[in-house]
Amino acid sequence: MPAFGREGVLSAQEIKLMAAYVLQPAPQPPPRPLEEIKASWKLVVPVANRPKAPQTKRDWQNYFGVILRDAGKVAIIDGASKERVGLIDTGFAVHILRSSSTGRYFYAVGRDGRVTMIDLWPETPTLVAQVQGCSDARSVDSSKYKGYEDKLVIEGCYWPLQYVVMDGQTLEPKAVVDVKTPAYDTKEQLEEVRVASIVASPFAPQWVVSLKESGHVAIVDYSKPGFPIVKKIPAERFLHDGGWDHTKRYFMVAANMRNQMVVVDAKSQKMVTKFDTGVRPHPGRGANWLDPEFGWVNGTPHIGEGKLVVYGADPVNKPQHAWKVVREVKLPGTGGLFIKTHTRSPWVWLDSPLSNDPKSTRQVCAYSKKEGKIEKCWSVSERGRAVHFEYDKSGSEVWVSVWDKQGELIV
């Protein structure tokens, strides 16, 4: 949590009131059944009324989707001209954007559980559909298996304990599936099982879904009626963010309260291994690159300590290093959230927006793939928090957001 007092966001009296409020017993949040979700659905632009081809002369495949979290909006920026070409109202505290398999649509999901579908083909990017599937959510993805591309969308709820499947072209709600599950290890009945990260499998018409508190990686089959969970793979508790290795066979996800990374084989649908990395790993979707000594690797920063951990991720060509820590690189600040690279770039980028040192929150670090060490760390702004990186289409530019009352993008 940010230092609200030190940063002048809250007064001493307001902090006391906030602390007293937080100590109150929490009421049971209400459910959100399918009928209520359907009532929230808004089809703004029917599919028949949408363009059949891109209507802009801009390179829409080089658009950046920028989350204006506190404003409840998403800005669309032309990566070539650096001009803002769209501003979309999306709801409270947007958490992530996910691209459709074709790249035509952005799906935005906010902490109010609202999913917004943005079409990039019109001259001005346009909101075409919206629905509130959850009361609180942080994950969304489309179907990507051959023959099912963008036909369906899944939203994972933090509350209620469910996921929602929708039509991928209209967001019309189709089904709600309960995810309440006992803990994988102790078998205790849990009052809360939140859906964390979701990725779409390339091997079958399935989504790979992290069940946070129970410690399972669930396999959701969207080719079956009702879109059920067909398998729950015991992994580790408190699963959070994760992503693919370079082959998109292995799903690597942080069990951040256990200080571990978990590896699941999406093809065989089996647990591979888990290993310690450091205090509260937070890889986001992770980053894959070729290390000159260890072959394909992946890495994660950490919220709880200033450290980049690099681990082997090439079980075919470098099995002796696979899923083992091969490099530990000291970073100048704690609070790391994201890591990013590009196949054409010699660098891996790291942020530290949740550092307990205000100077470190504005700092980014560039790690050299060739040398296996940090090349440089520096402050990209005199204010705010530097957070999250994205490369442009060519891989020649990397953009970083400055999260502040008056935000900015640094290229």
* Residue with the two structure tokens 């996921």: 163
pLDDT of 1 reads 64
Tallying the residues shown for the chain, one arrives at 411
pLDDT of 5 reads 84
Give the model's confidence band at 18: pLDDT under 50 very low, under 70 low, under 90 confident, else very high: very high
For the cut 90, the answer to whether the pLDDT of residue 74 exceeds it is: yes
Which phi and psi angles does 21 have, rounded to 5°? -65, -45
Mean pLDDT, the chain, rounded, equals: 97
State how far the Cα of 138 lies from the Cα of 95, in Å rounded to an integer. 6
What are the structural domain ranges in the chain? 31-234, 288-411
Give the model's confidence band at 235: pLDDT under 50 very low, under 70 low, under 90 confident, else very high: very high
**For residues 197-210, average pLDDT:** 98
Give the model's confidence band at 3: pLDDT under 50 very low, under 70 low, under 90 confident, else very high: confident
Indicate the class that CATH gives domain 31-234: mainly beta
The listed CATH number (3.30.470.20, 2.130.10.10, 1.10.940.10, 2.40.160.50) that belongs to domain 288-411? 2.130.10.10
pLDDT tens digits for 28-50?
888 999 999 999 999 999 999 99
State how far the Cα of 346 lies from the Cα of 336, in Å rounded to an integer. 20
The sheet with strand 408-410 has its strands ordered as 385-391, 398-403, 408-410
pLDDT tens digits for 288-325?
999 999 999 999 999 999 999 999 999 999 999 999 99
State how far the Cα of 306 lies from the Cα of 184, in Å rounded to an integer. 30
pLDDT of 241 reads 95
pTM of the model: 0.93
CB-facing half-sphere around the CA of 150: CA atoms within 13 A: 15
Q: Which secondary-structure segment (H or E) carries 74?
A: strand 73-78
